[in-house]
Amino acid sequence: MAEISAGKASSKYQIHIAGKNLPKSVLNKHIGKKNKVLIISDKGVPKKHIDSIKSIINNKNKHVLILEQGEKSKSFSSFQEIMNKLFELNFDRSDCLIGLGGGVVGDITGFCAATFLRGIDYIQIPTTLLSQVDSSVGGKTAINVPQGKNLIGSFYNPKFVLISTSFLKTLPKNEYESGLGEVIKYAFIGNKKLKSIIEENASKIVKRNEGILKIIIEESIKTKSKIVTKDEKENGIRAILNFGHTFGHAIEAYEKYRNITHGAAITLGMIIASKVSYFEGHIKDYQLDNVINMIDSLGLKTDHSKYKYTNLKKYMKSDKKVSDGKLNLILINKKFNAFKTSKFKNKNIIKALN
Ligand SMILES: NC(=O)c1ccc[n+]([C@@H]2O[C@H](COP(=O)([O-])OP(=O)(O)OC[C@H]3O[C@@H](n4cnc5c(N)ncnc54)[C@H](O)[C@@H]3O)[C@@H](O)[C@H]2O)c1
Ligand SMILES: [Zn+2]
Protein backbone atom coordinates (compact mmCIF):
# COMPACT_ATOMS: atom_id res chain seq x y z
CA MET A 1 0.00 0.00 0.00
CA ALA A 2 1.30 3.42 -0.87
CA GLU A 3 -0.11 6.90 -0.45
CA ILE A 4 1.04 9.92 -2.41
CA SER A 5 -0.32 13.42 -2.03
CA ALA A 6 -0.94 15.93 -4.80
CA GLY A 7 -2.42 19.42 -5.08
CA LYS A 8 -1.87 22.51 -2.99
CA ALA A 9 -3.42 23.65 0.31
CA SER A 10 -7.20 23.32 0.29
CA SER A 11 -7.26 21.29 -2.92
CA LYS A 12 -4.71 18.74 -1.65
CA TYR A 13 -5.71 15.11 -2.14
CA GLN A 14 -4.37 11.63 -1.47
CA ILE A 15 -3.69 8.99 -4.11
CA HIS A 16 -3.89 5.50 -2.67
CA ILE A 17 -2.32 2.58 -4.54
CA ALA A 18 -3.63 -0.86 -3.56
CA GLY A 19 -3.06 -4.40 -4.81
CA LYS A 20 -5.79 -6.94 -5.35
CA ASN A 21 -7.65 -6.23 -2.10
CA LEU A 22 -9.74 -3.10 -2.38
CA PRO A 23 -9.18 -0.93 0.71
CA LYS A 24 -12.77 -0.66 1.93
CA SER A 25 -12.13 1.43 5.03
CA VAL A 26 -9.88 3.91 3.19
CA LEU A 27 -12.46 4.47 0.46
CA ASN A 28 -15.29 4.93 2.97
CA LYS A 29 -13.17 7.31 5.03
CA HIS A 30 -12.76 9.55 1.98
CA ILE A 31 -16.42 9.34 0.99
CA GLY A 32 -17.13 10.38 4.56
CA LYS A 33 -20.61 11.24 5.71
CA LYS A 34 -21.83 12.12 2.23
CA ASN A 35 -25.47 11.31 1.77
CA LYS A 36 -25.57 10.16 -1.81
CA VAL A 37 -23.00 8.66 -4.10
CA LEU A 38 -23.27 8.31 -7.88
CA ILE A 39 -20.79 5.96 -9.54
CA ILE A 40 -20.24 6.86 -13.20
CA SER A 41 -18.72 4.20 -15.44
CA ASP A 42 -18.92 2.99 -19.03
CA LYS A 43 -20.05 -0.12 -20.87
CA GLY A 44 -16.49 -1.29 -21.48
CA VAL A 45 -15.63 -1.52 -17.77
CA PRO A 46 -16.25 -5.13 -16.68
CA LYS A 47 -19.33 -5.38 -14.48
CA LYS A 48 -17.40 -7.21 -11.77
CA HIS A 49 -15.27 -4.10 -11.16
CA ILE A 50 -18.38 -1.93 -10.81
CA ASP A 51 -20.03 -4.46 -8.49
CA SER A 52 -16.91 -4.79 -6.35
CA ILE A 53 -16.69 -1.03 -5.78
CA LYS A 54 -20.42 -0.65 -5.21
CA SER A 55 -20.42 -3.48 -2.69
CA ILE A 56 -17.73 -1.95 -0.46
CA ILE A 57 -19.32 1.51 -0.24
CA ASN A 58 -21.10 1.87 3.12
CA ASN A 59 -23.56 4.62 2.08
CA LYS A 60 -27.06 3.25 1.57
CA ASN A 61 -27.93 5.84 -1.04
CA LYS A 62 -25.61 4.68 -3.85
CA HIS A 63 -26.40 4.74 -7.56
CA VAL A 64 -24.70 3.74 -10.80
CA LEU A 65 -24.83 5.43 -14.22
CA ILE A 66 -23.26 3.61 -17.16
CA LEU A 67 -22.24 5.61 -20.22
CA GLU A 68 -21.47 4.37 -23.72
CA GLN A 69 -17.84 3.42 -24.09
CA GLY A 70 -15.30 5.59 -25.92
CA GLU A 71 -14.58 9.25 -26.61
CA LYS A 72 -18.20 9.95 -27.59
CA SER A 73 -19.06 9.90 -23.89
CA LYS A 74 -16.94 13.01 -23.30
CA SER A 75 -19.72 15.03 -24.88
CA PHE A 76 -22.43 17.61 -24.22
CA SER A 77 -25.03 14.87 -24.40
CA SER A 78 -23.35 12.76 -21.68
CA PHE A 79 -22.90 15.93 -19.64
CA GLN A 80 -26.64 16.58 -19.98
CA GLU A 81 -27.46 12.96 -19.14
CA ILE A 82 -25.39 13.08 -15.94
CA MET A 83 -26.82 16.47 -14.92
CA ASN A 84 -30.36 15.13 -15.42
CA LYS A 85 -29.52 12.14 -13.24
CA LEU A 86 -28.14 14.38 -10.50
CA PHE A 87 -31.28 16.53 -10.49
CA GLU A 88 -33.48 13.42 -10.54
CA LEU A 89 -31.61 12.05 -7.50
CA ASN A 90 -31.82 15.45 -5.76
CA PHE A 91 -28.06 15.73 -5.44
CA ASP A 92 -26.74 18.64 -3.41
CA ARG A 93 -23.30 19.90 -2.43
CA SER A 94 -22.91 17.30 0.30
CA ASP A 95 -23.11 14.45 -2.19
CA CYS A 96 -20.34 12.85 -4.20
CA LEU A 97 -19.53 11.50 -7.66
CA ILE A 98 -17.19 8.58 -8.32
CA GLY A 99 -15.61 8.18 -11.75
CA LEU A 100 -14.92 4.45 -12.16
CA GLY A 101 -13.27 3.74 -15.50
CA GLY A 102 -10.60 4.97 -17.87
CA GLY A 103 -9.69 8.53 -18.76
CA VAL A 104 -12.97 9.06 -20.62
CA VAL A 105 -15.05 8.37 -17.51
CA GLY A 106 -12.61 10.31 -15.30
CA ASP A 107 -12.65 13.41 -17.50
CA ILE A 108 -16.45 13.63 -17.88
CA THR A 109 -17.06 12.81 -14.20
CA GLY A 110 -14.58 15.51 -13.14
CA PHE A 111 -16.16 18.06 -15.47
CA CYS A 112 -19.65 17.31 -14.11
CA ALA A 113 -18.35 17.53 -10.53
CA ALA A 114 -16.69 20.87 -11.31
CA THR A 115 -19.85 22.40 -12.73
CA PHE A 116 -22.82 20.85 -10.91
CA LEU A 117 -23.96 23.46 -8.34
CA ARG A 118 -20.59 25.18 -9.06
CA GLY A 119 -18.68 22.22 -7.71
CA ILE A 120 -19.28 19.03 -5.73
CA ASP A 121 -16.80 16.40 -4.51
CA TYR A 122 -15.62 13.62 -6.75
CA ILE A 123 -13.40 10.59 -6.35
CA GLN A 124 -11.39 9.03 -9.15
CA ILE A 125 -11.14 5.25 -9.33
CA PRO A 126 -9.15 4.74 -12.55
CA THR A 127 -9.34 1.28 -14.11
CA THR A 128 -7.00 1.56 -17.11
CA LEU A 129 -3.22 1.83 -16.78
CA LEU A 130 -3.30 5.14 -18.65
CA SER A 131 -5.83 6.64 -16.28
CA GLN A 132 -3.97 5.27 -13.23
CA VAL A 133 -0.64 6.83 -14.17
CA ASP A 134 -1.88 9.91 -15.95
CA SER A 135 -5.43 11.24 -16.28
CA SER A 136 -6.64 10.60 -12.71
CA VAL A 137 -3.92 12.85 -11.30
CA GLY A 138 -3.64 16.55 -12.04
CA GLY A 139 -7.24 17.76 -11.94
CA LYS A 140 -7.73 18.31 -15.67
CA THR A 141 -11.36 17.66 -16.58
CA ALA A 142 -12.85 17.99 -20.04
CA ILE A 143 -15.32 17.18 -22.76
CA ASN A 144 -14.81 17.10 -26.52
CA VAL A 145 -16.54 19.33 -29.08
CA PRO A 146 -16.60 19.11 -32.89
CA GLN A 147 -13.88 21.79 -32.91
CA GLY A 148 -11.49 19.50 -31.07
CA LYS A 149 -10.71 17.21 -28.14
CA ASN A 150 -10.72 18.49 -24.55
CA LEU A 151 -11.54 22.06 -25.60
CA ILE A 152 -14.12 22.62 -22.88
CA GLY A 153 -13.16 21.83 -19.31
CA SER A 154 -11.66 23.05 -16.09
CA PHE A 155 -8.92 22.37 -13.60
CA TYR A 156 -10.71 20.74 -10.67
CA ASN A 157 -8.97 18.39 -8.27
CA PRO A 158 -10.65 15.21 -7.02
CA LYS A 159 -11.07 14.65 -3.26
CA PHE A 160 -9.34 11.29 -3.48
CA VAL A 161 -7.88 8.87 -6.02
CA LEU A 162 -8.06 5.11 -5.47
CA ILE A 163 -5.90 2.90 -7.65
CA SER A 164 -5.94 -0.88 -7.63
CA THR A 165 -3.78 -3.09 -9.82
CA SER A 166 -6.57 -5.70 -9.72
CA PHE A 167 -8.49 -3.80 -12.42
CA LEU A 168 -5.63 -4.16 -14.89
CA LYS A 169 -6.04 -7.92 -15.39
CA THR A 170 -9.05 -7.46 -17.65
CA LEU A 171 -7.56 -4.66 -19.73
CA PRO A 172 -7.12 -5.48 -23.47
CA LYS A 173 -3.47 -5.70 -24.57
CA ASN A 174 -3.57 -2.54 -26.70
CA GLU A 175 -5.02 -0.51 -23.79
CA TYR A 176 -2.39 -1.89 -21.41
CA GLU A 177 0.35 -0.96 -23.87
CA SER A 178 -1.18 2.48 -24.26
CA GLY A 179 -0.66 3.08 -20.52
CA LEU A 180 2.89 1.73 -20.71
CA GLY A 181 3.65 4.50 -23.23
CA GLU A 182 2.99 7.10 -20.51
CA VAL A 183 4.99 5.09 -17.93
CA ILE A 184 8.01 5.08 -20.26
CA LYS A 185 7.57 8.83 -20.68
CA TYR A 186 8.10 9.43 -16.94
CA ALA A 187 11.32 7.38 -17.11
CA PHE A 188 12.73 9.72 -19.74
CA ILE A 189 11.58 13.04 -18.33
CA GLY A 190 13.51 12.73 -15.10
CA ASN A 191 12.52 9.63 -13.07
CA LYS A 192 15.80 7.70 -13.15
CA LYS A 193 14.66 5.19 -10.54
CA LEU A 194 11.71 4.28 -12.76
CA LYS A 195 14.04 4.01 -15.75
CA SER A 196 16.22 1.38 -14.00
CA ILE A 197 13.19 -0.49 -12.65
CA ILE A 198 11.78 -0.81 -16.17
CA GLU A 199 15.15 -1.83 -17.61
CA GLU A 200 15.53 -4.56 -14.98
CA ASN A 201 11.95 -5.86 -15.03
CA ALA A 202 10.71 -5.62 -18.62
CA SER A 203 9.41 -9.19 -18.84
CA LYS A 204 7.57 -8.95 -15.50
CA ILE A 205 5.94 -5.73 -16.68
CA VAL A 206 4.83 -7.40 -19.93
CA LYS A 207 3.31 -10.20 -17.81
CA ARG A 208 1.50 -7.64 -15.62
CA ASN A 209 3.15 -8.88 -12.44
CA GLU A 210 1.20 -7.20 -9.62
CA GLY A 211 4.18 -6.35 -7.44
CA ILE A 212 6.06 -4.60 -10.22
CA LEU A 213 2.90 -2.87 -11.45
CA LYS A 214 2.41 -1.25 -8.06
CA ILE A 215 5.97 0.04 -8.12
CA ILE A 216 5.86 1.49 -11.63
CA ILE A 217 2.45 3.07 -11.00
CA GLU A 218 3.74 4.64 -7.79
CA GLU A 219 6.87 6.01 -9.47
CA SER A 220 4.86 7.34 -12.42
CA ILE A 221 2.43 9.14 -10.12
CA LYS A 222 5.23 10.58 -8.01
CA THR A 223 6.63 12.23 -11.13
CA LYS A 224 3.25 13.41 -12.39
CA SER A 225 2.07 14.74 -9.01
CA LYS A 226 5.35 16.55 -8.37
CA ILE A 227 5.08 18.34 -11.71
CA VAL A 228 1.36 19.17 -11.60
CA THR A 229 1.54 20.36 -7.99
CA LYS A 230 4.29 22.82 -8.97
CA ASP A 231 2.33 24.01 -12.00
CA GLU A 232 -1.40 23.42 -11.49
CA LYS A 233 -2.59 25.61 -14.39
CA GLU A 234 -0.01 24.55 -16.99
CA ASN A 235 2.02 27.76 -17.22
CA GLY A 236 5.49 26.28 -17.10
CA ILE A 237 7.12 23.00 -16.04
CA ARG A 238 3.94 20.96 -16.73
CA ALA A 239 4.85 21.23 -20.42
CA ILE A 240 7.51 18.51 -20.05
CA LEU A 241 4.69 15.99 -19.50
CA ASN A 242 4.10 16.51 -23.21
CA PHE A 243 7.31 14.73 -24.19
CA GLY A 244 6.41 12.78 -27.35
CA HIS A 245 3.00 14.44 -27.55
CA THR A 246 3.52 17.00 -30.33
CA PHE A 247 4.41 14.21 -32.75
CA GLY A 248 2.06 11.74 -31.02
CA HIS A 249 -0.94 14.03 -31.34
CA ALA A 250 -0.08 14.63 -34.99
CA ILE A 251 0.01 10.85 -35.57
CA GLU A 252 -3.36 10.41 -33.80
CA ALA A 253 -4.90 13.23 -35.86
CA TYR A 254 -3.41 11.84 -39.10
CA GLU A 255 -4.97 8.46 -38.20
CA LYS A 256 -8.27 10.26 -37.43
CA TYR A 257 -8.08 8.90 -33.87
CA ARG A 258 -8.67 5.39 -35.19
CA ASN A 259 -6.38 2.35 -35.41
CA ILE A 260 -3.86 3.68 -32.89
CA THR A 261 -4.10 4.25 -29.14
CA HIS A 262 -2.90 7.46 -27.54
CA GLY A 263 -0.04 5.64 -25.79
CA ALA A 264 1.12 3.91 -28.98
CA ALA A 265 1.12 7.27 -30.79
CA ILE A 266 3.07 9.09 -28.08
CA THR A 267 5.54 6.21 -27.85
CA LEU A 268 6.38 6.78 -31.52
CA GLY A 269 6.33 10.51 -30.73
CA MET A 270 8.96 10.00 -28.02
CA ILE A 271 11.20 8.18 -30.47
CA ILE A 272 10.83 11.01 -32.98
CA ALA A 273 11.48 13.67 -30.28
CA SER A 274 14.53 11.68 -29.11
CA LYS A 275 15.83 11.59 -32.69
CA VAL A 276 15.43 15.37 -32.91
CA SER A 277 17.25 15.64 -29.54
CA TYR A 278 20.06 13.51 -31.01
CA PHE A 279 20.30 15.48 -34.27
CA GLU A 280 20.36 18.69 -32.21
CA GLY A 281 23.30 17.31 -30.20
CA HIS A 282 21.47 17.05 -26.85
CA ILE A 283 21.89 13.26 -26.46
CA LYS A 284 24.40 10.65 -27.72
CA ASP A 285 23.60 7.84 -30.14
CA TYR A 286 23.61 5.20 -27.37
CA GLN A 287 21.07 7.27 -25.44
CA LEU A 288 18.78 7.34 -28.44
CA ASP A 289 19.21 3.54 -28.60
CA ASN A 290 18.38 3.40 -24.90
CA VAL A 291 14.97 5.01 -25.56
CA ILE A 292 14.20 2.74 -28.51
CA ASN A 293 15.38 -0.42 -26.69
CA MET A 294 13.23 0.24 -23.64
CA ILE A 295 10.13 0.71 -25.77
CA ASP A 296 10.95 -2.45 -27.72
CA SER A 297 11.59 -4.46 -24.52
CA LEU A 298 8.01 -3.79 -23.38
CA GLY A 299 6.63 -5.06 -26.68
CA LEU A 300 5.59 -1.67 -28.01
CA LYS A 301 6.07 -0.66 -31.64
CA THR A 302 9.07 1.48 -32.54
CA ASP A 303 8.68 1.78 -36.31
CA HIS A 304 7.33 5.20 -37.27
CA SER A 305 8.35 5.04 -40.93
CA LYS A 306 4.69 5.27 -41.97
CA TYR A 307 4.53 8.83 -40.66
CA LYS A 308 6.44 11.20 -42.93
CA TYR A 309 7.03 14.91 -42.36
CA THR A 310 4.66 15.80 -45.19
CA ASN A 311 1.85 13.81 -43.50
CA LEU A 312 2.30 15.22 -40.01
CA LYS A 313 3.31 18.82 -40.76
CA LYS A 314 -0.16 20.35 -40.81
CA TYR A 315 -1.20 18.64 -37.57
CA MET A 316 1.95 19.78 -35.78
CA LYS A 317 1.20 23.38 -36.72
CA SER A 318 -2.19 23.21 -35.02
CA ASP A 319 -0.77 21.71 -31.82
CA LYS A 320 -1.51 23.69 -28.66
CA LYS A 321 2.21 23.93 -27.99
CA VAL A 322 2.48 26.43 -30.81
CA SER A 323 2.73 29.92 -29.29
CA ASP A 324 3.12 33.10 -31.38
CA GLY A 325 3.24 30.90 -34.47
CA LYS A 326 6.40 29.16 -33.25
CA LEU A 327 6.40 25.43 -32.55
CA ASN A 328 7.76 24.43 -29.15
CA LEU A 329 9.16 20.95 -28.67
CA ILE A 330 9.91 18.95 -25.55
CA LEU A 331 13.37 17.46 -26.05
CA ILE A 332 15.64 15.47 -23.73
CA ASN A 333 19.25 15.98 -22.69
CA LYS A 334 22.13 13.67 -21.76
CA LYS A 335 20.90 13.35 -18.18
CA PHE A 336 17.49 12.27 -19.43
CA ASN A 337 15.84 15.44 -18.28
CA ALA A 338 13.21 16.99 -20.54
CA PHE A 339 13.09 20.64 -21.50
CA LYS A 340 10.88 22.87 -23.64
CA THR A 341 12.49 24.72 -26.51
CA SER A 342 11.67 26.61 -29.67
CA LYS A 343 15.33 26.50 -30.68
CA PHE A 344 15.82 23.66 -33.14
CA LYS A 345 16.38 23.35 -36.85
CA ASN A 346 13.37 22.35 -38.88
CA LYS A 347 15.65 20.18 -41.02
CA ASN A 348 16.23 17.98 -37.95
CA ILE A 349 12.49 17.33 -37.65
CA ILE A 350 12.42 16.43 -41.34
CA LYS A 351 15.42 14.12 -40.79
CA ALA A 352 13.75 12.46 -37.78
CA LEU A 353 10.59 11.87 -39.80
CA ASN A 354 12.34 10.36 -42.77
N1 LIG B 1 -7.31 14.59 -17.58
C2 LIG B 1 -6.09 14.33 -17.99
O3 LIG B 1 -5.10 14.87 -17.47
C4 LIG B 1 -5.89 13.34 -19.10
C5 LIG B 1 -4.61 12.84 -19.37
C6 LIG B 1 -4.47 11.87 -20.35
C7 LIG B 1 -5.59 11.42 -21.05
N8 LIG B 1 -6.81 11.95 -20.77
C9 LIG B 1 -8.01 11.48 -21.47
O10 LIG B 1 -8.18 10.11 -21.15
C11 LIG B 1 -8.88 9.47 -22.22
C12 LIG B 1 -8.20 8.17 -22.53
O13 LIG B 1 -8.23 7.36 -21.38
P14 LIG B 1 -8.07 5.79 -21.49
O15 LIG B 1 -6.89 5.47 -22.30
O16 LIG B 1 -8.18 5.26 -20.12
O17 LIG B 1 -9.31 5.38 -22.40
P18 LIG B 1 -10.82 4.95 -22.08
O19 LIG B 1 -11.35 5.62 -20.90
O20 LIG B 1 -11.57 5.09 -23.35
O21 LIG B 1 -10.65 3.39 -21.74
C22 LIG B 1 -10.24 2.50 -22.74
C23 LIG B 1 -11.19 1.32 -22.88
O24 LIG B 1 -10.97 0.40 -21.82
C25 LIG B 1 -12.21 0.05 -21.20
N26 LIG B 1 -11.86 -0.29 -19.81
C27 LIG B 1 -11.68 0.57 -18.78
N28 LIG B 1 -11.24 -0.11 -17.70
C29 LIG B 1 -11.17 -1.41 -18.06
C30 LIG B 1 -10.77 -2.60 -17.38
N31 LIG B 1 -10.33 -2.55 -16.12
N32 LIG B 1 -10.81 -3.75 -18.05
C33 LIG B 1 -11.21 -3.80 -19.35
N34 LIG B 1 -11.58 -2.71 -20.06
C35 LIG B 1 -11.56 -1.53 -19.41
C36 LIG B 1 -13.07 1.26 -21.40
O37 LIG B 1 -14.42 0.92 -21.32
C38 LIG B 1 -12.66 1.70 -22.79
O39 LIG B 1 -13.37 1.01 -23.78
C40 LIG B 1 -8.90 10.46 -23.36
O41 LIG B 1 -10.18 11.02 -23.47
C42 LIG B 1 -7.90 11.53 -22.95
O43 LIG B 1 -8.22 12.80 -23.47
C44 LIG B 1 -6.98 12.89 -19.81
ZN1 LIG C 1 -0.54 11.43 -22.99
Same domain? 237 vs 105: no
Domain stop point among 143, 170, 197: 170
DSSP string, 120-188: -EEEEEE-SHHIIIIITSS-EEEEEETTEEEEEEEE---SEEEEEGGGGGGS-HHHHHHHHHHHHHHHH
Domain stop point among 138, 155, 170: 170
* Active site residue ranges: 118, 140, 182, 224, 234, 238, 242, 245, 249, 262
Kind of pairing between the strands at 36-42 and 322-323: unpaired
- Give the Å distances, CA to CA, from 118 to 97, 112, 154, 353: 14, 9, 12, 46
CATH number at residue 64: 3.40.50.1970
Same domain? 21 vs 156: yes
Same domain? 263 vs 293: yes
Same domain? 178 vs 143: no
DSSP lists the bridge partners of residue 122 as 97
Same domain? 103 vs 191: no
Domain stop point among 104, 135, 170: 170
Of residues 57, 58, 54, the one with CA closest to residue 40: 54
DSSP lists the bridge partners of residue 140 as 155
Residue 133 Cβ < 6 Å to ligand 1: no
Residue 166 Cβ < 6 Å to ligand 1: no
Same domain? 46 vs 183: no
Same domain? 108 vs 184: no
| Dist. CA 187–CA 156, nearest whole Å | 27
Q: What is the pLDDT along the chain (354 residues), one digit of tens a residue?
A: 699 999 988 899 999 999 989 999 999 999 998 889 999 999 999 999 999 999 999 999 999 999 999 999 999 999 999 999 999 999 999 999 999 999 999 999 999 999 999 999 999 999 999 999 999 999 999 999 998 889 999 999 999 999 999 999 999 999 999 999 999 999 999 999 999 999 999 999 999 999 999 999 999 999 999 999 988 888 888 999 999 999 999 999 999 988 999 999 999 999 999 999 999 999 999 999 999 999 999 999 999 999 999 999 999 876 655 666 788 999 999 999 999 999 999 999 999 998
Which range of residues forms the domain containing residue 55?
2-170
CATH number at residue 189: 1.20.1090.10
Q: Which ligand is nearest to the CA of 73?
A: 1
Q: What is the pTM of this model?
A: 0.96
Same domain? 333 vs 260: yes
Residue 207's CB is within 10 A of a number of other CB atoms, namely 11
The total domain count for the chain is 2
Best residue for ligand 1 mutational test, from 107, 140, 144 (most atoms within 8 Å of Cβ):
107
